[in-house]
Amino acid sequence: MSAAPKASFRSDGWWPWLFVVPTLLGVLVFYIWPLFQTGYMSFTETGPFGGDTWVGGANYATLIGDENVGLALVNTVVYTAIVLLGVPLAILLASMVNRPGLRFATFYRVLFFMPYIAMPTAVALVWRMIYNGDFGILNWFLALFGITGPYWTSTPGFAIVAVGIVGMWASLGFGIIILSAGLKNIPPDFYEAAQLDGATRWTQFRSITVPLLTPSIFFVTIISVINGFQLFDLLYAIMGQRNPAMQQSQSLVYIFYNQAFINNNKGYAAAIAMLILLVIGIVTWFQFRMQKKWVNYV
Amino acid sequence: MMTRKNSRIALGIGAALSAALVLSACSSGGGDAAVSSDTKASISYAVWDENQVPALKQNIADFNKEYPNIEVKIDVTPWSQYWTKLQTQASSDTLPDVFWMNGPKFQLYAANGQLEPLTPLIDDKKLDPANYPEALNNLYSYDGTQYGVPKDFDTLGLWYNKSILEKAGVEIPTDAWTWEQIHAASKKISDALGSQGIYGMATSLTGGQEGYYNTILQAGGEIISKDGKKSGYDSPEAIKGLQFWTDLIADGSMPTLQQLSDTTPNVWFTSGKSGFFYSGTWSVSELSEAANTKDLNVAPLPKDDRQATVIHGLANVISAKSKNKGAAQAFVTYLGSKEAQVTQAEMGAANPAFNDTQSAFIDSVPHFDLQVFLDAEQYSYPYPVSKNTAAWEQLEKDLLPAAFSGEKPAEEVAKNLATKMNEALAKE
C-alpha cells in the first residue's frame, strides 16, 4: 500500500471534495456531531426528556466507583477473547474451503456465511433452545455420555462463555470471507516451488499461507475486537433482562443501555459510552502498534 | 451486525436532544377550543399491541359517527421500542396526541409536564372517574390530578391443571385457600409426579406482578409507601412475602430460577409440567389456546394475613403539547365511554375498566371461571409505582434472585434492597 505514488490532490483544487460531500455530510451529522454531543452529555445530568445541568466530572467519578462497570469490562473482555478464538478457526476453515478442486465449495461458503447475515434475534432464539438446561439438545447430547450439562445461559460465569461461543460461531463466516479473499491473493507459484522442495501441506500452510495472510488476519482481528466490545444484542436476546445470571453477565453496552433507557440516567450513560470509545480506541491503537511485529505486507 | 446499529441509536439520542432545543421554540401549546361535530382535525394515537388494533379501529369508526371530521391515525410500535420511541418524541415535543400509558411509566411523564390533566373534562362532567376502579384512578393520578382514563385492567389468579391435581390426589383450590394449603398441595404434586418432570408450582419471579408483589401484600406488607417515597421491603411482612417463594423452590415444589429462566413458567404450565401457575388476566388468551386448555381453570389467589392481588391496567392519556387538544380530549372521552369499552371486550381486546361492562370478557372463554378476576378487584391494591419506577425495578431484578435461590437469607437481601431503593427514591 505504501508503495503507491504520492497523490498530488492538492493541485486538483477543491472540486474532488464535491464528490465526498454527501457522505461527509452524513458522517458529520450522524456520527461526528453526536459524538461531541455525547461527550458533552457525559458532563451533565440529563433529564428523561432532555434539559441538562452541568455536573463536571461527577459522572466519571461515579463510573470509577461503580463495581458494575468493572464487572462489565471483564465480561466484555472475556466475550471478545472467545470471539477472537474464532480467528484461527476461520483461517483453517478458509484454507479448507478454498482448497483447489474442492467439490461444493460454494455450498460450504454459503453455509459458513449464513450465521453472519442471520438476524441476531433469530440466532439467539435457536441457541436458547440448544442451551436449554432441562430440554436442550446440547444437554441431551452430553447426557448420552453420562454428563449432566449445566444451565448454560442462566448460570453466572457460564452464561457469558455460552454467549461468547454463539458470537464466535456467528462471526466465523465474516472471517472466512475476508480470509478467502486474502488467500486468492497468494501467488500459486509459491506453493509449486514449495512442493518441488518437498514441503508437506502443513509446512506450506505454516510457512506460506499464514505469513502471507497476516494482513487479512490483522483486519479480521481489528473488526472482531471492535464488534466484541460492542456486545449487546446477542447477550440481550439469548439471556434476556430477566435472567437470574444477567447481573453477573452484563457487558459495557448493556449497562449503557440500562442507564440510558431503563434508569433514565442519560448523563451517566453518556459517560459509559465515552469509556467504551476510549477502551476500543486504546485496544485498536495498541493493535496497530503491534502489527509491525507480525503483519507482513508483500 | 446489529451491535453497531445500537451504538448508532445511542449516539442518535444526542442528536434528538439537540433537535428538541430547536423544536421547542416553534411549538406552542394547543388551545382548548370547544369541539363540535364540524371540528376538522387529524390526531395520532400511539399503541403497542397489534392484537388490539381491530377493536381500536372499530372504536374510531364509532367515534367518527359523532365527529366525522376528526381523523384518528393509529401508530403501532412494538413493546420493545415503544418507550424508547415515546421518550425521544417527548424530548423533541412531538409526542402523539393520544397514547397508551402504563403504571410504571406514568409518573415520569406526569411529573415532567408531558401529560394534559383531565381536570376540565371531569369538571364538565364529560368523564366520571367513579365509572372506573378506584385503584386505577389512583394509579393515574399525580399530586391529586388525574391524567389517564382507565382503559382495561388486570388482576391475578391461581391457575391450576385439574388433571395433574387429580393424579396427585390434590383437591381443587377454593377461595378459602391459605399459603399453607397451596404450599402443601404443590409439594404433594412434586413428590407424586416429580419422576415425570412435573412440579407443583411454576410462577415468574422476574417481575413482581405475577408473584412476590401479591404475596408481600397478602402478608400485610407493602412494596412502596402510599406517597411513593419509601421502600416497604425492610418490613417483616415483605420479607415473609419473599420467603414464601424461597421455601417453594427450596423443597422442590417449584423449579429453580435457572429452570424458570431457560423455560418460562407459562411454558411449564401449558406443557402440563406444573400443577399451579400464578398469572393474570393477560394469560387468558394464551391459556385458552393451549393444547391442554380443557384441563385448566382459575381460582382466587391463596391468602395469608389478608386476601390481596395487584391490579394494573392501561390508560389513554393526552400529550400536553398536542396541537389539537380539543379533538384529543373528545377522542379520549369517547375511549373512556361505556360503549367504547364494551366494544373492546366484545372484540376480545381487553378486560374493560368501565364498571359492570365486563360480562363480555367473562363469557369469552366459558370453561374458565373468569369471574375470579373481576371479584379480585374488590381486594386489589394498585401496582406499586413512583416517579422513576424503572430505577428500583432494576434493583429488584438484580438483587432478589439471590433471595429466591436461597443463596442469601431473604431478610438480608430485602434490607439491602430497601436501602438501595430508598437511595433511588431520594433522587427522584
Q: What is the three-state SS of A238-250?
A: HHCCCCCCHHHHC
Residue in the block written with cell 369499552:
B341
**CA of A214 vs chain B CAs: smallest distance (Å):** 24
Q: Please tell me chain B's helix, strand, coil percentages from 3-state DSSP, rounded to the nearest 5.
A: 50, 15, 35
Q: Which alpha helices (DSSP H) does chain A contain, by range?
A: 15-27, 33-41, 58-65, 67-97, 105-117, 120-131, 137-144, 158-184, 188-196, 201-204, 210-229, 233-239, 252-257, 266-294
Give residues with Cβ within 8 angstroms of A205, minimum separation 6. Answer: A95
For chain B, positions 162-201, list CB contacts with chain A under 8 A: 197
The residue-averaged pLDDT of A106-135 equals 90
**Measured at the alpha carbon of residue A284, what is the angle toward residues A282 and A286, in degrees to the nearest 5?**
70
Q: What's B230's DSSP letter? A: S
Q: How many CB pairs under 8 A join A and B?
A: 146
Cα Rg of chain B (Å, integer): 23
What is the SS3 assignment for B71?
strand
Task: Label residue A146 left, alpha or beta by phi (over 0 means left) and psi (-120 to 50 means alpha).
Answer: left
B401 shares contact with chain A (CB less than 8 Å):
yes
Give pairs for B124-130: CB < 8 Å, separation 24+: B126/B329, B126/B333, B127/B333, B127/B336
In DSSP notation, B262-278 reads HS-HHHHHHTT-EEEEE
- For residue A102, what is its C-alpha cell? 474442492
Nearest C-alpha in B relative to A32: B11
Query: Is ipTM strictly over 0.95?
Result: no
Q: Which of B1, B15, B259 sits opposite A120 (nearest CB)?
A: B1
Q: Looking up cell 429452570, which residue turns up?
A: B259
In the prediction, which pLDDT does A94 show? 92
Q: Which chain B residue is nearest to residue A259, measuring alpha carbons?
A: B391
Which chain B residue is nearest to residue A134, measuring alpha carbons?
Answer: B259
pLDDT of residue A132 exceeding 70, the answer is: yes
Q: How far apart are CA A77 and CA A75, in angstroms?
A: 5
CA distance B108 to chain A (A): 8
Which residues have a Cβ under 8 Å from the Cβ of A67 and sit 6 or more positions away? none
Q: Are A79 and A231 in contact (CB under 8 A)?
A: yes
Instruction: Note whether B10 contacts A38, CB cutoff 8 Å.
Output: yes
Which three three-digit cell numbers place residue B111? 411529573
**Nearest beta carbon to residue A48 from set B112, B261, B404:** B112
Nearest 10 degrees: CA dihedral of A110, A115, A121, A124?
140
Chain B partners within 8 Å of A248 (Cβ):
none
Q: Is A226 exposed, middle or buried (0-12, 13-18, 19+ CB in 10 A)?
A: middle
Give the number of other Cβ atoms within 10 Å of residue B164's Cβ: 25
**Residue from the list B263, B388, B391 with its beta carbon closest to the beta carbon of A132:** B263
Mind telling me how many Å the CA of B93 is from chain A's nearest CA? 9
User: What are φ and ψ of residue A105, in 5° steps?
Assistant: -60, -45
Residue B197 with chain A: CB contacts under 8 Å: 134
Q: What is the pLDDT of residue A247?
A: 87
Is the sign of the CA dihedral B320, B323, B329, B331 positive or negative? negative
Taking CA–CA distances from A224, the nearest residue in chain B reads B1
Nearest beta carbon to residue B7 from set A135, A253, A261 = A253
Letter string b/e over residues B387-402, b meaning 16 or more CB atoms within 10 A of that residue's CB? bbbbbbbbbbbbbbbb
In angstroms, rounded to a whole number, what is the distance separating the alpha carbons of residues B233 and B222? 7
**Chain A contacts of B257, Cβ < 8 Å?**
154, 244
Does any CB of chain A come closer than 8 Å to the CB of residue B6? yes
pLDDT of residue A298: 66
Q: Given B3, B207, B401, which is nearest A244 (Cβ)?
A: B401
Q: Using N-to-C axis directions, what is the helix angle for A33-41 and B2-26, rounded to 10°?
A: 80
Contact yes or no for B17 and A155 at CB 8 A: no
Tell me the shortest Cα–Cα distance from A21 to chain B, in angstroms: 20
Q: Which residues pair with B178 in a beta bridge?
A: B303
Residue A100: how many other CB atoms lie within 10 Å: 7
Chain A partners of B258 at a C-beta cutoff of 8 Å? 133, 151, 154-155, 244-245
Q: Using an 8 Å Cβ cutoff, are A257 and A34 in contact?
A: no
- Quote the CA–CA distance of B83 and B298 in Å, as a whole number: 32
Question: From residue B368, how far is each of B210, B294, B301, B363, B428 by CA, in Å?
Answer: 19, 9, 15, 9, 42
User: What does the longest C-alpha to C-alpha distance in chain A come to?
Assistant: 74
Q: Are strands B380-382 and B309-311 parallel, antiparallel or unpaired?
A: parallel
Write the pLDDT tens digit of every residue in A160-185: 999 999 999 999 999 999 999 999 88
Selecting from B114, B257, B405 the residue whose C-beta is nearest the C-beta of A49 gives: B114
Per run of 10 residues, the mean pLDDT along chain B (length 428 residues) is 38 40 37 69 93 91 93 92 90 93 94 93 92 92 94 94 95 94 96 95 92 96 92 95 96 95 93 95 88 94 95 95 93 94 83 88 88 92 91 90 94 96 91
Neighbour-count burial for B310-331, b at 16+ CB within 10 Å, e otherwise: bbbbbbbbbbbbbbbbbbbbbb
A40, with CB counted inside 10 A (0-12, 13-18, 19+), is: middle
Question: 3-state class of A262 per DSSP?
Answer: helix
Q: Do B12 and A30 touch (CB under 8 A)?
A: yes
Smallest Cα distance from B14 to chain A, Å: 5
pLDDT of residue B181: 95
CA distance B399 to chain A (A): 8
What single-letter amino acid sits at B59? N
C-alpha cell recorded at residue B247: 421455601
B263, closest residue in chain A (CA to CA)? A132
Per-residue pLDDT tens digits for A70-87: 999 999 999 999 999 999
Contact (Cβ atoms closer than 8 angstroms) between residue A191 and residue A181: no
- Dist CA A236 CA A257 (whole Å): 10
Please, which pLDDT band fits residue A5 given cuts at 50, 70 and 90? low
Give me the pLDDT at residue B161, please: 96
Q: What are A237-273's pLDDT values in tens digits?
A: 999 877 888 888 999 999 999 888 888 888 999 999 9
Report chain A residues whose CB lies below 8 A from the CB of B18: 33, 37
| Alpha-carbon span A164 to B140, nearest angstrom | 43
The 10s digit of each residue's pLDDT in B215-241 is 999 999 999 998 889 999 999 999 999
Q: Looking at chain B from residue 109 to 138, which residues have their Cβ under 8 Å from any Cβ of chain A?
A: 112, 114
Q: Do B112 and A266 touch (CB under 8 A)?
A: no
Say if residue A227's pLDDT is above 50. Answer: yes
DSSP string, B240-309: HHHHHHHHHHHTTSS--HHHHHHS-HHHHHHTT-EEEEEEEGGGHHHHHHSTTGGGEEEEPPPBSSS--E
The Cα B384–Cα B137 span in angstroms is 14
Where residue A11 falls among pLDDT bands split at 50, 70, 90? low
Nine cell digits for residue A248: 453477573
Q: Output the CA torsion B118→B120→B126→B128 (10° steps).
A: 50
Which positions in chain A touch B425 (Cβ < 8 Å)?
none
**Mean pLDDT confidence for A50-58:** 86
- Say if B216 is an interface residue toward chain A (CB within 8 Å): no
What residues in B contact A29, CB-CB < 8 Å? 15
Amino acid at B392: W
SS3 B152: strand
> Edge-to-edge, what's the strand order for the sheet holding B315-318?
B70-76, B41-47, B98-101, B315-318, B149-150
